[in-house]
Each structure stands twice: as C-alpha cells, then as structure tokens.
Amino acid sequence: MATLRSTWTATPITVEGNLGTAEWAGAGTMLIAGGGVNYGTVMMKNDANFLYIALDITRDQGNSTGDGDYFWLMVDVDRNRAITPHTDVNFGGYPGSPNSIGKQYFLGPATWTGLSASPGAQLHVGFGATPNAATAHRFWELRLSLTELGANLAEALPYIYFGLRLASSTPSFTFNSPDNAYTTGFGHLHQAFLARSADSVYAPGTAGAVIGGVGLIPASQISADGFATTAAPYMVQVKDAAFFGTLNLIGNHQTMQSLWQDGARKYRILHADPSAPTSFTPIRQAWANYHWNGTTYVLENFGPNASDMYPLTNPNQAYSIMDVLLQWQTIGAPVGAHKFQAVFFSAADVPVALPVSQTLTVAIDNNQPAVNIDSIKHGGVEVQACDIVTMANATDTLSVTYTAHDPEGHLAGYSVAGIYGTGVSAPIGSDVYAAHLSPPHTWAGVSAHASAFNPPTSCAYEFRVSASQNVTNGYSGPSVVSASRYVTIIKPGSPKFTVVAKPTLFGIPKPTP
C-alpha cells in the first residue's frame, strides 16, 4: 500500500487532456511501479466538490487506437478494507468512447455489475509530453464527485482507498496496483488523503483576525456572546448554537503565515471563564495532530512548556488539522461564555506583535437535556410499564405526559412517538428551536406536557421521548437522548390478541390433593 496527499485547487481543473498547465502544479503524486518497472505517476488535487486525478502513464509510449489502452480506478467507498457488493465502485472509460467515463459496482472479487453513468464525472484521454516525461505517452485526466467516492471533508483527516489497473497494447502490458487490488479484496489498497483547503479551513473573509474559528465554524459566524450560526448549504449548519465537547481553536492561516515570517515560534492561549470574564490566565491542554512528512501522516503530540507556551507549527507544512492553536476539552467547564486570546513569542520568548487584538467568545454547555415519559393514562388511570390496555372504541385515546427540557435554554428540538410493529412511528408531539427564535438561544422545551394519542392498531408500543441540545463541537451536533415506556394496546375488534389460561408447570397438570 502506498499513500499520497491530494492538494487543494482554488479553481476547478478543466478536464481537457492537458497535464502541462499550471492548474496541475503542486499536485500530490504517487509513483506507479512494480517488479522494477516504472509505469507512471498518479497526480491528485481536490476542491470542496471534486477529486481531480491524472493517470500519467509514461511507460505507454505507443499511441494505439481502439480499446486496448485502458484504466480501471477501484474505490473502497465505505472504507472498510473489503469489497462491499453494490457499494464499492470501479471507474473506467466506455468502450469505443475514450472520453466518456462510467462506473460499475463490485459484486465480489473480480465480479461487477454492468457499466453505467457516473453523475458529475468527466474524463479526457491525452497523448504527448507532460511534466513527468518529455517523450510522448498516454495519460488520462479525470474528475470525480467526492460524494460518490465516499469522501467527507468535514472529517479531521479525509481520505479514500483506491486501486488501479493499467493496460496498454503497444507496448503490451497489464499492471494492477496494488497487485491484488480486486482479485482477492481491498486489504492493500492505496490511501489518498484529501486537502480541506489551501490557505484555511474557512471561506475568504470569514475567519477571525487571529483565532480563525472553532472547528469548521469561522469566528465571523460566532456571536459576541458565543453562539454559532451558519447558513445552508454549509457543511455544518447551526442556528444560535452553543458549544460542547472537544473544541479545536483554529488560527487564521494568513495571520499565522505573517507571524511565522516575523519570527513567531511559540504562543500562549489566555482564557477567562464566566466567573471572572475579564481575568485572563494561560490555559494548559494537550492534543495530537497528524503531520505530513512527505510520504505519510505521522502523529505528533503537542502541549505547553513550563511557561505555558505551545510550539507554533509551520503554517506552510501540511497537518491533518491545519493551524490548530488549542484542542480544548470542555467537559467540566462551567456553563456560560468563555473568552480566549492568543499571544505570540519568538524562539527566545520575545513577544511578537499581532496585527490586531482579538477576543473570541464561545458559549459552553455540556449538560444534557432532561427527558422522561412522566405518565401514560387511560380514562384517568395510570398505565404502568408492561401493562396491557384495552381501548374502549376506535376514537379512544391515551393521555401521554412527557418532559423534554433543557434548563440552560439550549434545546434544539424534541419528538414523542409511539413506536410499534417493524419500527413504525406514530407521532404524539414534537417541537423545534426554529419555532422559538425570539429571544435567541433561550428555548428550554417543555415539562409535564400532555398530548392525546390514538393508537393506530393493536400492538406492543414503545412510547419514546427524544431530545437534543442546540450545541455543536464545530463539526457536528450532539447525540440524541431519549426515555421510553413499553405498553401493549388492544384496539376493539382486534383478532391479534386472545387471553389463554396460564400453563401448568412444564405443561403437566397439577395433581389433585
């Protein structure tokens, strides 16, 4: 298995069969070789939507016609290092149509579905000199959708697994890379790490002046009191959300480059908690980050020295989390507004001036909302868990009282349902923060709220209340919390339930005394 690192392209690459243009400069590369033979080079770049691939086959110096010159690009879409039928994909050119690309799904090792179209994909074949070889040779230029490849740039370290098959009629060769790419499984596929941005994880003009943002949320989208709001179709969509969990404070890439050029090599992160909002003291945390060493990503550990200073990473080096200044573990931090500032120093601990001062505020709430099925009543009588309830008629209802409440006022939404059969959900009640925007981020939900429920059929029911907080860690939201009560319901005229006599011990009648 080999690895390569795709680099970011700010401008979409034109798939035209030309690898000598500036748009391919600085692409990530991987040699295609085996058995002492160099077949060519894979080149990769990506943007937020597509992966651009150049298969530069320098060994194929015969400009053959027909379908004898071809490639396969195999992708482990679910990344489980195994062939998953109807999920993992093999891309290739359409026979007789050299500039048309299609795909087929794997059914197993060396077996596939038929060839079909690949949405958004593009292909162009070329023959000539490239930056990798002056002698004319075969190459292909491709564009593939990141979504179709199973790639997710919201990950801290986005990647794909892939394999290749290359064939030429003149000179004659067929080469698989790796050699068992598709005949026995995907356990040795190559790995391509994808770039999340050339300059920053944030769109131009959205980052804070020094601390660019939190995770994928730029500082410009965090309010003065610490709540995040982003707009669709941004990959992290939140509205007036507080923060929770582990937070990555990301530096402004341009500012980090400027500070590095000015000699900055260390920094402190100053923190003020809600109890003393104007008293800033150094915060001490430790974390790990992957650093690209030119061949692969190597895990490096970071933490403060005795003077509470962290080492400033070279902003021109590639890290899995670019420009991370602090990975803050917020569990145990008090609820409320926390403030951060960054100050920088030379290798000799001499202060390095910032272009502008900045204080970033983030609202923290790690407390989960309270959820409970408070009561279920039929005809005013409490229904206990595991009870069997016979409804009086087709319109008879149960009264379900429930709580979905966040004391800090950061509830995202709740839903209550009766779940029965094969997981069918019959709604009882629900609400979301979007219906309670004024005043902002202060909706606490409901407590001891009652709703009527008419069960749709006779069955065993799970009465479930679920709720989630309006919080984010900069990449995603929190998990859903829930509470349940189980009750069996019989509707009138139902043939599904009959009462039978209790069996005697082991089916043997008890003896008469």
SS3 258: helix
Residue 398: burial class (beta carbons within 10 Å; 0-12, 13-18, 19+): buried
> Where does 320-410 show beta strands of DSSP type E?
324-329, 336-346, 351-352, 360-364, 370-378, 381-382, 388-390, 398-405
Q: pLDDT, tens digit, for every residue of 475-505?
A: 988 889 999 999 999 998 765 555 444 444 4
CATH label, 370-490, candidates 2.60.40.10, 3.40.50.2300, 3.40.50.620, 1.10.3720.10: 2.60.40.10
Cis peptide before 109 (omega within 30 of 0): no
| pLDDT number for residue 502 | 47
Q: pLDDT, tens digit, for every residue of 328-379?
A: 999 999 999 999 999 999 999 999 999 899 999 999 999 999 999 999 999 9
DSSP category for residue 348:
T
- HSE (CB half, 13 Å, CA atoms) of 122? 14
Check whether 511 has a pLDDT greater than 50.
no
Question: Residue 340: beta bridge partners?
Answer: 271, 360
Domains 3-193 and 370-490 share a fold: yes
Q: How far apart are CA 79 and CA 157, in angstroms?
A: 13
Q: Which two three-digit tokens encode residue 12?
A: 């979409």
The pTM of the full predicted model, rounded to 2 decimals, is: 0.71
Q: Locate the domains of the chain by residue range.
A: 3-193, 211-364, 370-490
Is the CB of residue 446 less than 8 Å from the CB of residue 405?
yes
Find all residues with CB under 8 Å of 343, minimum gap 6, and list them.
267, 268, 270, 351, 354
DSSP category for residue 26:
T
DSSP category for residue 255:
H
Q: How far apart are CA 221 and CA 226, in angstroms?
A: 9
Q: Which two three-digit tokens encode residue 420?
A: 């029965």
Which residue in 336, 362, 337, 370 sits closest to 444, CA to CA? 370
Amino acid at 150: G
Residue range 3-193, CATH number: 2.60.40
Q: pLDDT, tens digit, for every residue of 6-60?
A: 988 878 999 999 998 889 988 889 999 998 999 999 999 999 899 999 999 999 9
Residue 104: burial class (beta carbons within 10 Å; 0-12, 13-18, 19+): middle
